[in-house]
Structure 1
Amino acid sequence: MLDRGGARSRHAGSRRFPQEPAVAAGVMRSAGPSARPALALLLLLAGAGASAAASPQAPPLFNVSLDMAPELRWLPVLQHFDPDFLRAAMAHIVGDNVPKWVLELIRKTVRMLELFLPKPFIGEIRGMCDALNFQLADCILLNLVYESTAFCTSIVAQDSRGHIYHGRNLDYAFGNLLRNLTMDVQFLKNGQVAFTGTTFVGYVGLWTGQSPHKFTVSGNERDKGWWWENVIAALFQRHSLISWLIRTTLSESENFEAAVYKLAKTPLIADVYYIVGGTTPKEGVVITRNRGGPADIWPLDPLNGAWFLVETNYDHWKPVPKGDDRRTPAIKALNATGQANLSLEALFQLHNLYYGNECCQPREVHDQDQKPGLKAGE
């Protein structure tokens, strides 16, 4: 039986990160009769008010070609959505979640800020803004809003055959809008799928992604307070957005170890938890990040009983906060399932706990009966 997802203590269950990434190729293996890969699951559940029996529908799938100019990459995607709906949704999200002083500051300094934001992300944002006739400052703020409000539960686990599973749900307070903006994206290089992820229309970052046959990544918010003040300062220091680093890592890292190194070491605009899964036994880790670097790195240790890790939105070595214990039900469910019985279906059912009253009644995003933002016939 594991305590708190396998955490024995901050020091016993963690390790210092090496100075250089190990160079090792991961081999993709099958995960059962259906020949699913060992990198078996990168799941984003959703559905405000959905019953436990409801099955989340898959969001629409689009291709985004990285061979195109940044300003043009997302335009084929926008053609599938009603522009009036998109403008109204984006204005609502920004208006309800951005302090007025931040909105005024960004609008006044947007041309200067544009020089500090890295390529290709600022070009992609500008291209969508121009297509929707939306202010650039508001489009930048839309991307920042998603950085500040991602409440999640991520699980990385290893079954008794050494296969790695990675699951997550992602909750936002404005899920009624986002479930109609959610999409899966295949990012193409030279006409081939380089990596995939789940995101929202107008948002160029990723909180959930997979590099085929290499690794998976999910991000969970780590709330440290004074978010907007810290973020504005960090942006002008050229620090990366949390979700942009996930996308960069998926694009550039060649294996699990290189991905963990990049996610642990790159300066960020805010604290976060990065959860990474690989393709070979023991390739699973939770990285607790400060803005400047890693605060803690917590690896899978199946030989000593830690065959799964559960990360929500608080440090794994600390007690769960009152009124928000999403960790204990997940741990109970995993222990009840057992390592030998871990499967895609079992992990999916475990995430369905978050539709019930046992945890937290999260505000999830994906489940929908229809997508009013999509044009007729899509």
Structure 2
Amino acid sequence: MKLRAAGLLLLGLLASCRGEFSPVTVYISLDEDPELRWAPITKAFDVEYLKKAAAEVIDTTVPKWVHEAVTPIVMALEKYVPQPYAGEIRGMAAHMGGSISDVIILNFAYEISAIVAQDTNGTVYHGRNLDYPHDVLRNLTMDVIFLKNGKVAYRGTSFAGYVGLWTGQSPNKFTVSGDQRGSEHWWNWWKNVVSAFLFRRTPVSWLVRETLEEAEDFQDAVMRLAKIPIITGVYYIVGGVRAGEGAVITRDRTGPADIWPLTPINGGWYRVETNFDHWLPPPARDHRRITVYTTIMSAAAPEKYNTLVRPQGCPPT
């Protein structure tokens, strides 16, 4: 019964909808100079379309005064943005033919529900929906495979022009996804930018990527995601390769507010996280948004990583 229920939970994320498609796959070599490594996106996407899509996201999300506010950051990019992200952002701007300030803004404009579950054999599955109110992102969605010394270091699903990750997998180690924490109001968004650049805290999606690259195993990943200071509250959902390796980490800026692990012996064989603290009753009005993509993954079977882009008109999830 438990195995069947786990399957139903994950199938609920991948409910059939006409027009679903798999995103393009882009290979990024971490051995390349940061300013050069994202060049493959110019072969996977039309550059002019990327520029127009990025402008649409920025114009409908970001106040105009922000363009002026980030100018000092652009003038001293290396001072405020750590490597390799400074180099990657600089290179991304060159590849897309845009301004560095616009690429910086774009990388802070994406700030989402997830399930981690264990079947009766102890295999941990991780599914996530990423929701965002911009239809254009469907056409920018890509699976990214990061290579180190010619081998797969980790992979994830992201958007063209974005250097962070909200969804990722370190093969045979762990999976991770991030969800916006509902208590973080949208009007605090620009405080997060200040927090990132002036207080040197890590953007939440950059910490996902750093953890995928550096953590040795599930436990190491949980410790990093729970303790490293970040720019805003978030939920990190983590799945491992062994029975019982699954947790939802509720984050404040400076540390964990709660860690909610799998407890299969006591009946807690799955955890579902949306955008609200699990120990509180859900709000009467849930601001569920348009699902852009759905990913199903299991670190113990990394070859089964699967993302589907959800077309407009799919039932809300």
Both proteins in one fold, TM over 0.5: yes
Please point out which of 31, 41, 49 is paired with 1:85. Answer: 49
8 Å CA contact 1:210–1:250 kept in 2: the answer is: yes
Say yes or no: does 1:291 pair with 2:250: no
Supply the distance in 2 between the matched residues of 1:191 and 1:205 (Cα, whole angstroms): 21
Q: Which amino acid aligns with 2:40?
A: P
**Runs of 4+ with deviation above 3 angstroms:** none
Q: How does 1:139-218 map to 2 (within 5 A)?
A: 139-147=103-111, 151=112, 153-174=113-134, 176-218=135-177
The residue aligned with 1:135 is 99
Please point out which of 163, 173, 181 is paired with 1:222. Answer: 181
- 1:95, CA displacement in angstroms? 1.0
Higher mean C-alpha displacement, 209-218 vs 109-118: 109-118
Aligned residues: 289
Supply the distance in 2 between the matched residues of 1:227 and 1:299 (Cα, whole angstroms): 29
SS at match of 1:145: coil
Higher mean C-alpha displacement, 270-279 vs 75-84: 75-84
Percentage identity across aligned positions? 52
When Rg is computed on C-alpha atoms for both structures, the one with the higher figure is 1
Supply the distance in 1 between the matched residues of 2:203 and 2:287 (Cα, whole angstroms): 27
Structure 2: 5+ residue stretches without partners: 4-8, 289-303
Q: Which amino acid aligns with 1:69?
A: D
Please point out which of 263, 271, 277 is paired with 1:315. Answer: 277
Q: Which amino acid aligns with 2:96?
A: L
Structure 1: 5+ residue stretches without partners: 2-30, 32-40, 327-344, 363-378
SS at match of 2:26: strand
8 Å CA contact 1:42–1:209 kept in 2: the answer is: no
CA RMSD of aligned residues (A): 2.8
- Specify which structure has the higher proportion of strand: 2
Please point out which of 259, 262, 280 is paired with 2:224. Answer: 262
Q: Which amino acid aligns with 2:45?
A: F
Supply the distance in 1 between the matched residues of 2:227 and 2:122 (Cα, whole angstroms): 28
- 1:83, CA displacement in angstroms? 1.2
- 1:55, CA displacement in angstroms? 6.4
* TM-score, length basis structure 2: 0.84
* TM-score, length basis structure 1: 0.71
Which structure's relative contact order is higher, taking Cα pairs within 8 Å and 6+ residues apart?
Answer: 1
8 Å CA contact 1:102–1:228 kept in 2: the answer is: no
Supply the distance in 2 between the matched residues of 1:80 and 1:306 (Cα, whole angstroms): 42
8 Å CA contact 1:282–1:300 kept in 2: the answer is: yes
Supply the distance in 2 between the matched residues of 1:181 and 1:55 (Cα, whole angstroms): 16
Supply the distance in 1 between the matched residues of 2:99 and 2:10 (Cα, whole angstroms): 34
Please point out which of 72, 75, 90 is paired with 2:39. Answer: 75
Q: Which amino acid aligns with 2:115?
A: I
CA deviations over 1:10-63 (Å, ceiling 9, x no partner): xxxxxxxxxxxxxxxxxxxxx9xxxxxxxxx999x79xxxx8443631101111
- 1:198, CA displacement in angstroms? 0.4
